[in-house]
Amino acid sequence: MTESDTDVAVVDAVDAYLQRKAVGDPDGAGAGTYASNAESILRRWADWLEREHGISSLFSLRVEHMRAYATELRARSDRGEYTASTAGTYYAVVRAFCSWCVRGGILESNPAATDEAESALPAAEKRPESEFWTATQRRRLETAVREHALEAATDLRDRDERCNRLREYAMVALLAHSSVRGSELFRVPDDERRAGATWEDVDFYTGTIRVLGKSQRLEDVPLPAPARTPLRRYRVVLDPPSNDWPLFPTRHAPSIARRVKTVLADRGHTDREIDALFADATASQLARERSIAPPTITTEGARSVLKRLCKEADIDVDGDYLTPRGVRGDHDETDRYRREATASKPVLRASVLEQALAVREPHPSIIDVGSSGSDDGSEDG
């Protein structure tokens, strides 16, 4: 088909492709799930094509555009926004879409399936041996953050300091003792569906947390006691003003300010009124007073926190540090539970009353962090 034929917009072709995949197609099992995974990737790619190259017609797509896309993915990988494997996955989704267009007679050839384009992708990284640390190394990190949390409670330090230390302990404990993934707890840039876990997702009564799993379906993941208890203690001190408050809010003031200003404007406040409010209070204070949930810390921000904690605990393996994936270690049993639960009926959620009863705790000043198991100033801190 040539450009003289009826034009086909990239976004229209993407819509048709996703609709076909969503109802299942002969390309393989799990096509509906694939459509959920591919949708945000393809829509961001289409937006990028039009924004960066002025391409809206599928017939205008060339090899050089796909090479530019591969180069963009590599640049994001170099900046630490994506891993090389994630960049490769994004490109593979677009390449599969283009192959579908070829099979359907929309394109004569696949501009993404060429050496010229694919050679610009980042090289697949070898998984470091230290990515999954030993149980001893994980325990060292958890012990360090637990002791810091206990010290803050014993010394009766200011609320912000107690909250910050309990936040760190809860983060490490969740990653170490549950099968929850970093991308399910924290915000993933450029993926609007992964905005981070909120307190509404946590059910202390049933001992579960609801997350968007790899399957792109909501899953109720078990929270073992060593993960649940630090999280509950942290919640008491954090005292979130609303259930949509993130488990781990960003501490980056400009990001919080942007969110607060946007929400206030949406609520009908004028620029002058917003400026007046900011003249009398910080963005964080306004967020609490007005129940405006701040953004969640990003996955990269969580890595920065863990890197700092590892440094403070003097934990180092060949210059590396414990990543969210590394803290998780092996969770064969809970991962199996997740697969079975996703395939069957969802776990029943407790009522609001039951949840309220479940989170009642002693006063923070007499906190007991138990014996079981300032960010660096970046935007994600």
Which residues, listed in sequence order, are joined to residue 30 by a DSSP beta bridge? none
User: Cα–Cα distance between 299 and 304 in angstroms, integer?
Assistant: 9
User: Cα–Cα distance between 262 and 265 in angstroms, integer?
Assistant: 5
User: Cα–Cα distance between 143 and 158 in angstroms, integer?
Assistant: 22
* Tens digits of residue pLDDT in 183-237: 889 998 877 788 899 999 999 888 899 998 876 778 888 988 899 999 999 999 9
Which residue's structure tokens are 């609007």?
192
User: Cα–Cα distance between 262 and 163 in angstroms, integer?
Assistant: 26
CA distances (Å), origin 50, targets 43, 55, 153: 11, 5, 53
Q: Provide the b/e sequence for 192-207 (b: ≥16 CB within 10 Å).
A: eebebbbbebbbbbbb
Residues in CB range of 170: below 8 A, 6 or more apart: 230, 231, 233, 234, 247, 248
pLDDT of residue 38: 80
pLDDT of residue 155: 60
User: Cα–Cα distance between 268 and 263 in angstroms, integer?
Assistant: 9
Residue span(s) of the chain under CATH 1.10.443.10 come to 130-250+295-366
Task: Classify domain 10-118 at the CATH topology level.
Answer: DNA polymerase; domain 1 (1.10.150)
> Residue type for 111, please?
P
CA distances (Å), origin 128, targets 86, 125, 143, 319: 16, 9, 24, 11
pLDDT of residue 87: 87
**Helix orientation angle between 271-280 and 253-266, rounded to the nearest 10 degrees:** 140
Around Cβ 124, how many Cβ atoms within 10 Å? 11
Residues of the chain with pLDDT under 70: 1-6, 22-37, 124-134, 153-157, 215, 316-381
Task: Classify domain 130-250+295-366 at the CATH topology level.
Answer: hpI Integrase; Chain A (1.10.443)
How much is the pTM?
0.59
Residue span(s) of the chain under CATH 1.10.150 come to 10-118
Alpha helices, DSSP H, located in 187-331: 225-238, 253-266, 271-280, 283-289, 299-312, 324-328
Pairing mode, strands 202-203 and 218-222: unpaired
pLDDT of residue 318: 54
Sign of CA dihedral 297, 301, 307, 308: negative
| Alpha-carbon dihedral angle through residues 153, 200, 35, 186, given to the nearest 10 degrees | -20
pLDDT of residue 231: 94
Any idea how long the chain is? 381
> Residue type for 319, please?
G
